[in-house]
Amino acid sequence: MVFAYYKKLSRQNQAIYRKSDAKETIHLSKPELFYDHICTLQEGLELADRRMTENTANSLLNAMAVHIAAPDMHIRVLSSRPSNDEEELHGLYEPVELDKKARITVWMRTAKHKKIVAFRSFLRTLLHEFCHHLDYEYFLFEDSFHTQGFFKREAHLFRQLLNEEEKEPKVFVQT
């Protein structure tokens, strides 16, 4: 399935789009390796501890990258989301440039009310930006499009990390 903007893409970008759309999963052979990171990430958010959240996000995504043999990256967690009159930015991916690592930036507070972002939303944003990283650095696409396959890859990672592979979602509780 293609989104409306597909027809406006160049022939080369349409080919990239189709390749992206065809990839629907990113399999983590041992997702349980990341469960402690997930618990600590949730705890950092609940405590509104930016440094703890940032350190855990770095550990989590880079451990996942190593697990699937993708290059590492730098993750920044900043305070309140930037916004304008219509929208607020949830996450930002900056590809590798010259001698600098790729960088993911996410924000832990909403723009308008400065409330801590819900854990599941925060994790989805992290994984969304991680999928952009994988598009460029693992799949070696020349661009990263929001295809249906892209969103399926993001959702697949999310379900694995929260141990929600079955139809009935499980509550993820730290013990």
Handedness of CA 51, 55, 61, 64 (dihedral sign): negative
Instruction: Work out the end-to-end distance of the chain between its first and last CA atoms, rounded to an integer number of angstroms.
Output: 41
Q: What values do phi and psi take at 39, rounded to 5?
A: -60, -45
Mean per-residue pLDDT, 135-155: 96
DSSP bridge pairs for 103? 74, 94
d(CA 20, CA 39): 31
Task: Give the pLDDT confidence score for residue 69 in this predicted structure.
Answer: 96
pLDDT band at 165 (very low <50, low <70, confident <90, very high): low
> At 105, which helix (H) or strand (E)?
strand 103-109
Mean per-residue pLDDT, 125-154: 97
**What is the residue extent of each domain of the chain?**
31-161
Mean per-residue pLDDT, 9-38: 95
